[in-house]
Amino acid sequence: MSNYEAVIGLEVHVELKTHTKLFCGCSTEFGKEPNTQVCPVCLGLPGSTGVLNKKVVELAVKAGLVLNCKIGTYTWFDRKNYYYPDLPKGFQISQVFRPIAYKGYLDIDINGQNKRINITRAHIEEDPGKLIHSGGSIMTSHYSYVDYNRSGMPLIEIVSEPEIHSGEEAGAYLEKLKANLEYAGVSDVKMEQGSLRCDANVSVRPVGTTALGTKTEIKNMNSFRAVQRAIEYEVERQIEVLEDGDRVIQETRGWDENRGITLSMRNKENPDYRCFIEHELPPIELTPEWIADVKGTIPELPDARRKRLVEEHGLPDYDAGVITSSLALAEFFDAALKKYPDAKTISNWIMGELLRLLNARNMELSEAKITPDGLAALLELIEKGSISNKMGKEVFEVMFEEGKDPGQIVKEKGLSQISDEGQLSRIIDEVIAKNPKSVADFQSGKKQAVGFLVGQVMKATKGQANPGVVNAMLREKLAQ
C-alpha cells in the first residue's frame, strides 16, 4: 500500500447566489414545485434568446479572487454539445476556451503543515435541469421526470490541479474552498441542497514515479465526508487492481454511500462535445478598475480572521481555525465577544458544547436557537457564581433547543446555585459532624480528604451548592 501514491484532482460545481438565473429572469429559489420557475429561455424553446445576468459575472470574479486566481479581462462563452433530456438546448453554455478565472490556489493545513493546492481554472456555466427516474437509471426506467427549475442556474466550475494525495487533503481543500466562497458571499455552498457538488478524478502511481496512472472519475458524493471516504475507497481499489496485475479502466464510477464502495456507471461515457464559441452572447470584457472595485467588496477571509483571533484575542491556532472554518461560527464568536469579553471562554463553549450539539443533531448553526447574546448572558451567570459550570451546560442545551433567556431557564428549572454562606454553613456543619473519619484524615495531613467532604455537601444540596465556595468554607472550618 505504501508503495503507491494517490493523485487526485477535484472538479467542484458551485451555484452562485443570485436572485435570477444566468440568462433569464427566472427565480433561483430552492425547493419550489417542479417546472414553476421556467421560461422560454431556460426551456430552450425555439427562437428564445438569453441575456447574461451581470450579477453572475460579479460573483464569478469574486469567487476567482478568493481562490487567488487571475481574472480574464476578455473571455467569452462556448457551447458544449451533448444530448440528455435534462439539457433543453442540446448544448450547455460554458466557458471552455477562456475561463473567467485561472491559475489560482488554496493553502491547506495538513497536520500543522501548510500545503498549496493549485487551481487550474474557475469558469461560468449553466446548470442543466434535474432528472427523477422511475427506475434505477435513465436507460432502465419506464419513464423519467424532468424538472427544469434548475435549468439555467448560474454555476462556477472550479478545477484543481491533480495535486491532492489523500482523502484527508481533499477534505481540507473542500473545507477551505467552501469557507472562502461562503465568506465572499458568492454561494450558499450547501452540499445537501446541491449548491456545491464535487467530482473527483482519482489515479494511483508507484511512489517515486511522475507519470500519471489511469484515472477514474468519481461522482454522486453528497458530503465532504463522502468525498473523503469515496477517495479512500477508490485509491485502495485501484491499488488492489494493480497489485493483482490488472489495469485500471478509465471510467466514471458512482459512490454508493450505503455500501461504502464505488461502482462503474457504464452509460456515462464522455461524448465528443464539439465545443465552439457561443455566437448568441457577446464576449465578457472587464476593466482592471472594475475588477479592483469587486475586490474592494470582499470581506476579511478565513485565514486573515483566524490570524486575528490568535493575535488579538490570544486563541490557540487550532480553536481559531475551527471557529473561522464557517462564517456563521465566526460571526457568532465575534458577536458573543462583544457582550462577554473573554475570548478563550467563549471559544471553549463554541468548540465544546455548541459544536458537540450541532454534530450530534446534524444541524446547521442557523437552525440552532441559541444566540451569541444568550451565550454571553449564560457565561455571566456562571462567572457570578449564580450557577455552576455543569449547570451551565444543562442550561446551554435548553437554549440551543428553545432559545430562551438563560436567567429564565435557571429560574424555571430551579437551578440557581447556593452561594449564600449562611445557608451553606449549616449544611457544611452537618457534613463535618457526620464524617469524623474524613475530618480526622484531613487534619492528619491527607488534604485530598476535602474532596470527599465537598462531594457530600454537593450531594446534600442536590448539586446546587457553589463548589468553589464550599471548598473554601470547608477548609476554613477544618482549619479551626
Q: Under the criterion CB under 8 A, does residue 91 sit at the interface with another protein? A: yes
Q: Which is nearer to another protein, 52 or 110 (CB)?
A: 52
Q: Under the criterion CB under 8 A, does residue 46 sit at the interface with another protein? A: yes
- Output the DSSP codes for 3-68: TEEEEEEEEEEEE---SB-SSS--B--TTPPTTSS--TTTTT-TT------HHHHHHHHHHHHHTT
Select the binding partner of residue 274 from Zn ion, another protein, none (C-beta < 5 to 8 A, by kind). Answer: another protein
In the complex, the smallest distance separating the C-beta of residue 60 from another protein, rounded to whole angstroms, is: 17
Q: Under the criterion CB under 8 A, does residue 45 sit at the interface with another protein? A: yes
Q: Under the criterion CB under 5 A, does residue 330 sit at the interface with Zn ion? A: no
State which H helix or E strand residue 180 sits in. helix 167-184
Task: Restricting to residues 329-368, name those near another protein by CB under 8 A.
Answer: none
Select the binding partner of residue 42 from another protein, Zn ion, none (C-beta < 5 to 8 A, by kind). Answer: Zn ion
* Contacting range for another protein; rule: CB under 8 A; set: 203-211, 247-255, 274-282, 409-417: 274-282
Using the CB atoms, write b or e for 202-213: b if 16+ within 10 Å. bbbbeeeeeeeb
Question: Is 478 in contact with 432 (CB distance < 8 Å)?
Answer: yes
Q: Under the criterion CB under 8 A, does residue 83 sit at the interface with another protein? A: yes
Q: Which is nearer to Zn ion, 24 or 56 (CB)?
A: 24
State which H helix or E strand residue 430 sits in. helix 421-434
Question: Is 103 in contact with 70 (CB distance < 8 Å)?
Answer: yes
Q: Which is nearer to Zn ion, 26 or 378 (CB)?
A: 26
Strand partners, 167: none
Question: Is 239 in contact with 166 (CB distance < 8 Å)?
Answer: no
In the shown chain, the binding pattern of residues 22 to 61 toward Zn ion, with x for contact by CB under 5 A and - for none, equals: --x-x------------x-xx-------------------
Question: Is 90 in contact with 271 (CB distance < 8 Å)?
Answer: no
What would the grid cell of residue 58 be?
A: 460579479
* CB-CB neighbours of 474 under 10 Å: 23
Task: Restricting to residues 110-169, name those near another protein by CB under 8 A.
Answer: 138-139, 144, 146
Q: Under the criterion CB under 8 A, does residue 276 sit at the interface with another protein? A: yes
Q: Under the criterion CB under 5 A, does residue 174 sit at the interface with Zn ion? A: no
Residues that bind another protein (CB under 8 A): 40, 43-52, 79, 81, 83, 85, 88-91, 138-139, 144, 146, 272, 274-276, 279-282
Residues that bind Zn ion (CB under 5 A): 24, 26, 39, 41-42
